[in-house]
Amino acid sequence: MMQPIFKEFHNDQEVVEAIQSLKSKNINEDDIYIITHDEDRTDRIADEAEANTIGLDEETLGTAARNLFRKKGDELRAKLEELGFEEYHAEELEEKLDEGKVIVVVQHAPEGFDIY
């Protein structure tokens, strides 16, 4: 499986604009995910941008069950791995989330595509 592409943001409004830009470039809404360390913030941005969060739909039942007992960081790493990131990469991204960043992930991006 191809690694998803991602970009980190500090500002919620930049996230919304980036997602609108992705959609204008024919990226399928179902392939765009927003991840933050704060579920309320994630939901708020996703609602405004009309993008996805990683909920139970994207998690396998095993991961969902294990996540009930995990700390937040472990849970986010597991979710990132489910989106297709290697374990070491998921750990790096989770550290960025710890710093308060928002990460936009695009699955199944066309070859050579980048998030601006």
Integer Cα distance of 67 and 83 in angstroms? 15
The answer on pLDDT for 35 being more than 70 is: yes
Query: In the predicted model, what is the mean pLDDT of residues 98-115?
Result: 90
Beta bridge partners of residue 9, listed in sequence order:
102
Mean pLDDT of the chain: 85
Residue 104 tokens, joined: 């936009």
The pLDDT value given to residue 92: 94
Query: In the predicted model, what is the mean pLDDT of residues 77-93?
Result: 91
pLDDT bracket for residue 62 (50, 70, 90): low
Q: 46: how many CB neighbours lie within 10 A of its CB? A: 21
> Comparing 22 with 112, which gets the higher pLDDT?
22
pLDDT bracket for residue 85 (50, 70, 90): very high
Beta bridge partners of residue 102, listed in sequence order:
9
Helix (H) or strand (E) holding 9: strand 5-9
Integer Cα distance of 101 and 92 in angstroms? 12
The pLDDT value given to residue 102: 93
The pLDDT value given to residue 91: 93
Residues 39/7, Cβ–Cβ less than 8 Å: no
The answer on pLDDT for 21 being more than 70 is: yes
Residues 51/57, Cβ–Cβ less than 8 Å: no
